[in-house]
Amino acid sequence: MKTLALFTTLITLSTANPKWNWNHSPKCPTIPQIAPDGQLPPNTLSPALLMPISQKKPDKAYGATNTAIVTPHDKCTLTRFDIPASAQNKTCSLTLFLGGCGYGKSNVKQRGPGNIIFQGNTGVRYPVPGETTWNNQPPLAPPFDDAPVINKGEAYRLGGGPCDYTPGEPFTSVGGSICSEDTKLEFTQQEGGYGKCPVGFHLVIT
């Protein structure tokens, strides 16, 4: 399943209100099957790598970042997750959280109708910060044919299946790309909790 796209700022709040729940906010967007309270469950992976590439600057190599950016007909973001061997025989679900409550919402910027192109890395090779460009980006599988129209303030399970596993290796890399022809999207990865919503790509292992 190599083509599957298995694609943190503490806010100090007043402790005067004893009813405040630091780990949960009902306003965070939920994914009923795997994140029913709007927070990330245990054993969730954040991306090992986010890195932009530019169609308009096809030979420019960018560095790694914790902010994903997509712009129409120009910038895409490449992703990589490193799935540990301990995830063998478990299910991996690729999720995308786009804020929606508290202090997570400011981490997400969207302009346009939300048509995002999701493609999985074929596993031949993975992006290298400072070296990978638009012209030499890793081979990608065809776009997801069931990708949702995304909106700021929502959360999505983009796909899932048995976690990738390579016998004898400590981890197995998977990844992909997000692009768009009509939407600008930018978000900074955030794990949530402490009154904040998760933001960005997360790989939930169950």
- Domain membership flag for residue 38: no
Domain limits for position 111 = 44-205
Residues 6+ apart with CB under 8 A from 40: 191, 192, 193, 198, 202, 204
Tally of domains within the chain: 1
Instruction: Convert the pLDDT of each residue in 72-120 to its tens digit.
Output: 999 999 999 999 999 999 999 999 999 865 554 568 999 999 999 999 9
Give the model's pLDDT for residue 62.
98
Give the domain CATH number at 137: 2.60.120
How far apart (Å, rounded) are the C-alpha atoms in residues 204 and 186? Answer: 21
As a whole number of angstroms, the distance between CA 79 and CA 201 comes to: 9
Give the number of residues written for the chain: 206
50 within a domain of the structure (yes/no): yes
Residue 5 confidence class, pLDDT cut points 50, 70, 90: very low
Q: Let me know if residue 11 belongs to a domain.
A: no
Phi, psi at 107, each rounded to 5°: -80, 0
Mean pLDDT of 46-52: 98
Question: Does a structural domain hold residue 32?
Answer: no
The reported pLDDT for the residue numbered 195 is 82
Could you tell me if residue 4 is inside a domain? no
- pLDDT tens readout for residues 150-185: 999 999 999 999 999 999 999 999 999 999 999 999
Strand partners, 185: 70, 110
**Residues sharing a CB contact under 8 Å with residue 111, sequence separation 6 or more, in sequence order:** 183, 184
